[in-house]
């Protein structure tokens, strides 16, 4: 796992699929990335970055409001369950984890604790809606099937 740090990120258009799921429903949302890639391919739109999961509301004891998303070069109109969005520009706390996705909860805890120790504040509403809390998946499972070697970046927007 890399050391946490802060980075500036540019705004990024994307298309995605939204879902409200319990904690054990995250893999089903991640599986929807295939549908998004298929939708993009059928329209001749190339992704311009790694796919991600965006956690909009994290209520671990009940439900998560989240999106599976894929970055695109320019805003496009969604269709049906495919929605268009824009990841906001700004300063993000980030770290990169190499390992099994089951270890991401510990990586997330580490990033949250690091930011608290630095006195950093998250860009989130009083109701708990995050501006951008991302898990970005750099490893293609078709190329690297060993989940213990997958590279995932956590990037959470700061206030």
Q: Any idea what the CATH number is for the domain that residue 73 is in? A: 3.20.80.10
pTM for this one? Answer: 0.93
The pLDDT value given to residue 128: 87
From CA 106, how far away is CA 153, in angstroms rounded?
Answer: 13
With a pLDDT cut of 70, the percent of the chain lying above it is 99
Residue 1 clears pLDDT 80, i.e. is over it: no
How many whole angstroms from its chain centre is CA 81? 18
Average pLDDT, the chain: 94
* 41-66 pLDDT per residue, tens: 999 999 999 999 999 998 767 789 99
Average pLDDT of span 9-28: 94
* Predicted local confidence at residue 60, as pLDDT: 65
Containing 40, the helix (H) or strand (E) segment is helix 33-42
Please state the three-class secondary structure of 63-118 as a single string: CEEEEEEEEECCCCCCECCEEEEEECCEEEEEEEEECCHHHHHHHHHHHHHHHHHH
Q: 147: domain range?
A: 5-157
Number of domains in the chain: 1
Sequence-separated (6 or more) residues with CB below 8 Å from residue 80: none
Per residue in 104-123, pLDDT tens? 999 999 999 999 999 999 99
Q: What is the pLDDT of residue 43?
A: 95
Residue 126's pLDDT is what?
87
């Amino acid at each position: 796992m890399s050391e946490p740090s802060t980075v500036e990120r540019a705004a990024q258009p994307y298309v995605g699929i939204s879902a409200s799921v319990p904690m054990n429903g995250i893999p089903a949302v991640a599986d929807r990335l295939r549908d998004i890639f298929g939708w993009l391919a059928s329209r001749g739109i190339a992704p311009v970055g790694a796919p991600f999961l965006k956690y909009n509301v994290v209520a671990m004891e009940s439900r998560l409001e989240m999106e599976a998303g894929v970055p695109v070069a320019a805003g496009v109109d969604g269709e049906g369950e495919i929605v268009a969005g824009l990841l906001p520009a700004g300063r993000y706390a980030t770290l990169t984890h190499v390992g099994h996705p089951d270890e991401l909860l510990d990586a997330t805890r580490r990033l949250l604790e690091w930011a608290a120790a630095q006195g950093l504040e998250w860009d989130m509403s009083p109701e708990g809606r995050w501006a951008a809390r991302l898990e970005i998946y750099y490893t293609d499972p078709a190329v690297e099937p060993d989940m213990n070697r997958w590279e995932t970046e956590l990037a959470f927007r700061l206030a």
